[in-house]
Amino acid sequence: MEDRLTEIVPSRGRKGDLIPILQRIQAEFGYLPEEAIVKVAESTGVAESRVFGVASFYAQFRFTPMGRNRVMVCRGTACHVKGAPRILEEIEKVLKIKEGETTKDLEYTLESVACIGCCGLAPCIMVNKEVHGRLTTKEISDIFTTRGECDAG
Partner 1 sequence: MPDKTVLVCQGTGCVSAGAEQIHISLEREIAELGLGGDVQVKRTGCHGFCQQGPLAVVEPEGIFCTRVKVEDTPDIAQSLLSQKKPPERLFYRDPLTGKVIPHYRDITFYSRQQRTVLKNCGYIDPEEIDDYLAVGGYEALRKTLLEMSPEQVIDTVKRSGLRGLGGGGFPTGRKWESCRRASQESRVESRESGRKTLGSGLQTPDSYVVCNADEGDPGAFQDRSVLEGDPHSVLEGMIIAGYAVGARVGYIYVRAEYPLAVKRLEIAIAQAREKGFLGKNILGNDFDFDIEIFQGAGAFVCGESTALVLSLEGKRGMPKPLPRPRTTQVGLWDKPTLLNNVKTFASIRWIITRGADWFAGRGTKKSKGTAIFSLTGKTANCGLIEVPMGISLREIVFDIGGGIPGGKAFKAVQTGGPSGGCLPAELLDTPVDFDSLTDAGAMMGSGGMVVVDEDTCMVDLARYFLDFTQKESCGQCSLCVLGTLQMLNILNSITCGRGRPEDIDLLIELGEAIKMGSICGLGQTAPNPVLTTVRYFREEYEAHIYERKCPARVCKDLISYRILPDKCKACMICLRGCPVEAITGGKKQIHMIDQDKCTRCGVCLDVCPERFSAVECIPGRLDNTLHSA
Least distance CB 113 / partner 1 (angstroms): 7
Which of 31, 152 has the CB closer to partner 1? 31
Whole-Å CA distances, 54 to 17, 59, 61: 12, 10, 9
Residues in touch with partner 1 (CB under 8 A)? 15-20, 22-23, 44, 46, 53-54, 57-61, 75-78, 80-82, 86, 89, 93, 113-122, 124, 129-133, 137-138
Q: Is the peptide bond before 33 cis (omega within 30 degrees of 0)?
A: no
Beta bridge partners of 108: 69
* Distance in angstroms (rounded) separating the CA atoms of residues 90 and 70: 16
Least distance CB 35 / partner 1 (angstroms): 20
Which of 27, 152 has the CB closer to partner 1? 27
Which of 45, 65 has the CB closer to partner 1? 45
Measured in whole angstroms, how far is the alpha carbon of residue 62 from the centre of its chain?
Answer: 8
